Structure 1
Amino acid sequence: MIIDDQHYDLIIVGTGAGGGTLLHKLAPTGKKILVLERGNFLPKENDNWNAGEVFGKGRYHTREQWYDISGEPFRPQTNYWVGGNTKVYGAALLRMREKDFEKVQHQDGISPEWSLKYQDFEPYYTEAEKLYFVHGKQGDDPTEPHRSEDYPYPPISHEPRMQQICDAISNQGLHPGYLPLGLRLNESDVNESLCVRCKTCDGFPCKIDGKADAEVSGVVPALEFPNVTLKTDAKVVCLHTSPSGREVQAVEAEIGGQSYLFFGDIVVLACGAVNSAALLLRSANEKHPTGLANSSDQVGRNFMKHLLSAVVQLTATPNPAVFQKTICVHDFYWGDSDFEYPMGHIQNTGNILQDMIPAEAPPLLSLLSRLIPGFGLQQLATRTIGWWLQTEDLPDPNNRVRVQGSKLHLDYTPNNFEAHDRLIYHWTEVLKAIDKTTKSAVFPLSIYPYSNTPIRVVAHQSGTCRFGEDPTTSVLDLNCRTHDVDNLYIVDSSFFPSSSGVSPALTIMANALRVGEHLISRLN
Structure 2
Amino acid sequence: MIIDDQYYDVIIIGTGAGGGTIAYKLAPTGKRILILERGDFMPLEEQNRTNVDIFKRERYHAPEQWYDGVGEPFSPQMNYAIGGNTKIYAAVLQRRREQDFEEVQHQSGVSPAWCLKYADFEPYYSQAEQLYKVHGELNGDPTEPLHSQDYPFGAIAQEPQITTIGQAIAQAGLHPSTLPLGLTRQVDDPTNDSEVSGIIPSLQHTNVTLKTKAKVTCLHTNPSGSLVKGVEAEIEGQSYLFMGDLIVLACGAVNSAALLLKSANDPHPQGLANGSEQVGRNLMKSLMTAVVQLSKKPNSGTFLRTIYVHDFYWGDEDFPYPMGNIQNTGGLLGDIIFAEAPPMFSLMAKFMPGFGLKQLATRSIGWWIQTEDLPDENNRVSIEGDKLSVHYTPNNLEAHDRLVYRWIEVLKGVEKDLDDFQGGIMHPRSEVPLQVMANQCGTCRFGDDPATSVLNRDCRTHELDNLYVVDGSFFPSNASVSPALTIIANALRVGDHLIQRLG
TM-score range, shorter chain: over 0.9
C-alpha displacement of 1:350: 2.0
Provide the residue aligned with 1:96 in structure 2: 96
Q: Pick from 408, 425, 428: which aligns with 1:446?
A: 425
Q: Pick from 442, 463, 477: which aligns with 2:456?
A: 477
C-alpha displacement of 1:380: 2.4
1:365–1:509 Cα change, 3 Å = same
CA-based RMSD: 1.8
Equivalents in 1 of 2:300, 2:81: separation in Å? Answer: 33
Equivalents in 2 of 1:407, 1:70: separation in Å? Answer: 13
Q: Aligned AA for 2:234? A: E
1:449-495 deviations in Å (ceiling 9; x for gaps): 11001100010000000000000000000000000000000000000
TM-score by length of 1: 0.93
Q: Pick from 471, 474, 477: which aligns with 1:498?
A: 477
Provide the residue aligned with 2:120 in structure 1: 120
TM-score by length of 2: 0.97
3-state SS of paired residue (1:293): coil
C-alpha displacement of 1:90: 0.3
Q: Aligned AA for 1:429? A: E
C-alpha displacement of 1:57: 4.2
1:488 maps to 2:481:
no
- Is the CA contact (8 Å cut-off) linking 2:7 and 2:242 kept in structure 1? yes
Q: Pick from 436, 456, 459: which aligns with 2:438?
A: 459
- Is the CA contact (8 Å cut-off) linking 2:309 and 2:327 kept in structure 1? yes
Q: How does 1:286-325 map to 2 (within 5 A)?
A: 286-320=266-300, 322-325=302-305
Equivalents in 2 of 1:152, 1:268: separation in Å? Answer: 29
- Is the CA contact (8 Å cut-off) linking 2:344 and 2:430 kept in structure 1? no
1:472–1:143 Cα change, 3 Å = same
3-state SS of paired residue (1:220): helix
Provide the residue aligned with 2:393 in structure 1: 413
C-alpha displacement of 1:46: 7.0
Q: Pick from 199, 209, 215: which aligns with 2:195?
A: 215
C-alpha displacement of 1:157: 2.0
1:329 maps to 2:329:
no
What fraction of aligned residue pairs are identical, expressed as a percent? 64
Equivalents in 2 of 1:373, 1:505: separation in Å? Answer: 39
Q: Pick from 341, 345, 348: which aligns with 2:325?
A: 345
Equivalents in 2 of 1:2, 1:52: separation in Å? Answer: 44
Equivalents in 1 of 2:170, 2:181: separation in Å? Answer: 21
C-alpha displacement of 1:53: 3.5
**Unaligned runs of at least 5 residues, structure 1:** 186-193, 197-207
Q: How does 1:109-508 map to 2 (within 5 A)?
A: 109-185=109-185, 194=186, 196=187, 208-320=188-300, 322-353=302-333, 359-361=339-341, 363-369=343-349, 373-442=353-422, 445-508=424-487
- Is the CA contact (8 Å cut-off) linking 1:357 and 1:377 kept in structure 2? no
3-state SS of paired residue (1:238): strand
- Is the CA contact (8 Å cut-off) linking 1:357 and 1:366 kept in structure 2? no
1:51-91 deviations in Å (ceiling 9; x for gaps): 34434143343110000011000000001001000000000
1:357–1:214 Cα change, 3 Å = closer
C-alpha displacement of 1:267: 0.3
Equivalents in 1 of 2:421, 2:36: separation in Å? Answer: 52
C-alpha displacement of 1:353: 3.0
- Is the CA contact (8 Å cut-off) linking 2:302 and 2:332 kept in structure 1? no
Q: Aligned AA for 2:492? A: L
1:442–1:146 Cα change, 3 Å = same
- Is the CA contact (8 Å cut-off) linking 1:40 and 1:232 kept in structure 2? yes
Q: Aligned AA for 1:14? A: G
Q: Aligned AA for 1:323? A: F
Provide the residue aligned with 1:519 in structure 2: 498
- Is the CA contact (8 Å cut-off) linking 1:51 and 1:355 kept in structure 2? no
Equivalents in 2 of 1:64, 1:517: separation in Å? Answer: 35
**Unaligned runs of at least 5 residues, structure 2:** none
1:218-243 deviations in Å (ceiling 9; x for gaps): 00010000000000000000000001
1:298-354 deviations in Å (ceiling 9; x for gaps): 000000000011110112222357525111111110001100000000111121239
Q: Aligned AA for 1:94? A: Q
Q: Aligned AA for 1:353? A: L
Q: Aligned AA for 1:299? A: V
1:176-206 deviations in Å (ceiling 9; x for gaps): 0111000122xxxxxxxx1x3xxxxxxxxxx
Provide the residue aligned with 1:510 in structure 2: 489
Provide the residue aligned with 1:70 in structure 2: 70
C-alpha displacement of 1:373: 4.2
Q: Aligned AA for 1:211? A: T
Q: State the number of aligned residues.
A: 503
C-alpha displacement of 1:438: 1.1
Equivalents in 2 of 1:177, 1:342: separation in Å? Answer: 19
1:504–1:470 Cα change, 3 Å = same
1:46–1:336 Cα change, 3 Å = closer
Equivalents in 1 of 2:212, 2:55: separation in Å? Answer: 25
Moved over 4 A (4+): 354-358, 370-373
1:367–1:355 Cα change, 3 Å = farther
- Is the CA contact (8 Å cut-off) linking 2:55 and 2:342 kept in structure 1? no
1:127–1:476 Cα change, 3 Å = same
Q: Aligned AA for 1:134? A: V
1:378–1:227 Cα change, 3 Å = closer
Equivalents in 2 of 1:75, 1:96: separation in Å? Answer: 30
More moved, 340-349 vs 58-67: 58-67
1:442–1:375 Cα change, 3 Å = farther
1:380–1:275 Cα change, 3 Å = same
